[in-house]
Structure 1
Amino acid sequence: MIESSQLARAAQGAGGMSEMERRVALVTGGASGIGAATCVALHEDGFAVAVLDRDGDGAAATAERCGEALALTADLRDEQAVREAVADVIAWRGRLDVVVNAAGVLHRTGLADTDAETWARVLDINLTGAFRVCEAAQPHLLDGAEDGTKRIVNIGSCAGEIGYAYPAYTASKGGIIALTRQLAAELAPHRITVNVVNPGFIRTPINDDAFADPAQERRVAERIPLGRMGEPEEVAAVVRFLASPAAGYITAETIRVDGGQTAIGAVASPK
């Protein structure tokens, strides 16, 4: 848990709107990739952004790009650490308006090579971790939810729809889609929307191995109708919209950012 002096310094700011009145977003996996791009996009939209990642240095680096942001270090497998991180956000700003679950890990192993420990780790971070964040954030999202601007946006994957031959990752992302629908139904009476964004092949650190060999990258791109990998900012733009007032009547939706990959059922795997 961060010190109160840090919270006080982070809350200082200038501008027209009172710093304590700004909408607040918590983004997990904010140290890099889609999470980092989302933090920047939400900051540009005027949010006070809390950047959560197990990589504390990476979270701090993203926070530096987001004005008066808050960097938090937590492992999503640790329920108490997640609760403390959410409590830190409330101590910082007194409110929480948007939660983006972007944290995730990927093991490129098939059924024969995925042991029980790997399976449990991937599911615990990608799926149960998102559940822990939502569960800890729920009371604060309910506070003031009558204005219809509270949001949960989960980052899934097209793997959860068509399969990438990696059972643990695919199962975790399929679970994210199902969890999103359930939470959307449960929270709709409170005017809280819950949606999932399913990226295809995006140029992020999690896919660095797929881009190491230019020939391999070309093979992957050939399986995508638009003929290229996506960029983190293209996914963040969709999250930005879903977090905005303009998306107030959209919930329980799966929005793909995949260059048309899912439409043709292509498995754009580097294998």
Structure 2
Amino acid sequence: MTTPQARVAVVTGAASGIGAAIADQLIAAGVHVALLDKNVPASPAAVRRSDVSGHGDAMLVPCDVRDDLGVASAIDRVGTWRNRIDVVVNAAGVLVRSDIAATTPQTWQDVLDINLTGTFRVVQATLPYLVDPATAGTKRLINIGSGAADRGYAYPAYTASKGGVVAMTRQMAAELAPHGVTVNAINPGFVRTAINDDAWSDSEVRTRWEKTIPLGRMGRAEEVAAVACFLASPSASYVTGQTIAVDGGRGSSAATPV
């Protein structure tokens, strides 16, 4: 009896936060994961997890999603590593806390270059693997958006970039459906990651945020990762073009934005 070949995933922004949690859970599920991040030395946990018998393997790949050639080179390394890519998770992102008046053209460009254009670069580089007719119907593309895309409670560059990710997800889902590729987005709400360390360290700010969340607390990266792992799984084969909020009910409430 032939053993099915293990699936291979690419996760960007995998050194920390939501990206690291997604990589860790995919590895635990037996998926081979390439962890792409410009700060790869900061992400040893998933590689240690991959050493456990029965889990997927992992490879750290330096990659700055702002760099066209760097992205192409990183994806080439992954292709050489396992000769296939089945799942792509775009979790690399940055938040600059700058309001309309204070947002410079350079800040605007920098945020969009990572969050939106960086996502596009990775998708374009992995496209030959995703549309491979030999594995049609098994490929998954997951983009990490933000609740700010729907509610506009963050800052202009970040909100615009994540709104673009959500819109691009819908377009990609329609374009890639004939190839059997499912494409979905996840919109996290307030999740405890390094981006939100300021809220966690300030009890007054944290309390104000949590009052806008029906479940009464900020989320955990592992809770977002669980949804991503479902979307990456065979069980999600008929789910595409969707944006799934993981926000403690905040998006469906009438709570006043922070």
Is 1:33 matched up with 2:22? no
Aligned residue among 203, 206, 210 for 2:192: 203
In the alignment, the residues of structure 1 paired with residue 113 and residue 3 of structure 2 have an alpha-carbon distance, to the nearest angstrom, of 39
Is 1:185 matched up with 2:174? yes
Deviations 1:204-259 (A, max 9, x none): 11111111112221111011111000000000000000000010000000000001
**TM-score normalised by structure 1 residue count:** 0.89
Deviations 1:139-173 (A, max 9, x none): 01112464411000000000001102400000000
- Does the 8 Å CA contact 1:53/1:75 hold for their aligned counterparts? yes
Matched with 1:4 is none
- Does the 8 Å CA contact 1:224/1:261 hold for their aligned counterparts? yes
Matched with 1:241 is 230
Matched with 1:163 is 152
After superposition, the CA RMSD in angstroms is 1.5
The gaps in structure 2 that reach 5 residues or longer are: 52-56
**TM-score normalised by structure 2 residue count:** 0.94
- Does the 8 Å CA contact 2:12/2:92 hold for their aligned counterparts? yes
In the alignment, the residues of structure 1 paired with residue 118 and residue 257 of structure 2 have an alpha-carbon distance, to the nearest angstrom, of 26
In the alignment, the residues of structure 2 paired with residue 264 and residue 145 of structure 1 have an alpha-carbon distance, to the nearest angstrom, of 44
C-alpha deviation, 1:62, in angstroms: 3.5
Specify the SS of the correspondent of 2:191: coil
Matched with 1:85 is 74
Aligned residue among 125, 147, 150 for 2:114: 125
Specify the SS of the correspondent of 2:92: coil
Matched with 1:253 is 242
- Does the 8 Å CA contact 1:24/1:98 hold for their aligned counterparts? yes
Letter in 2 for 1:228: R
Percent pairwise identity:
55
Q: 1:84 to 1:48 in 2, by over 3 A?
A: same
In the alignment, the residues of structure 2 paired with residue 99 and residue 235 of structure 1 have an alpha-carbon distance, to the nearest angstrom, of 15
In the alignment, the residues of structure 1 paired with residue 256 and residue 154 of structure 2 have an alpha-carbon distance, to the nearest angstrom, of 8
How many residues are matched? 252
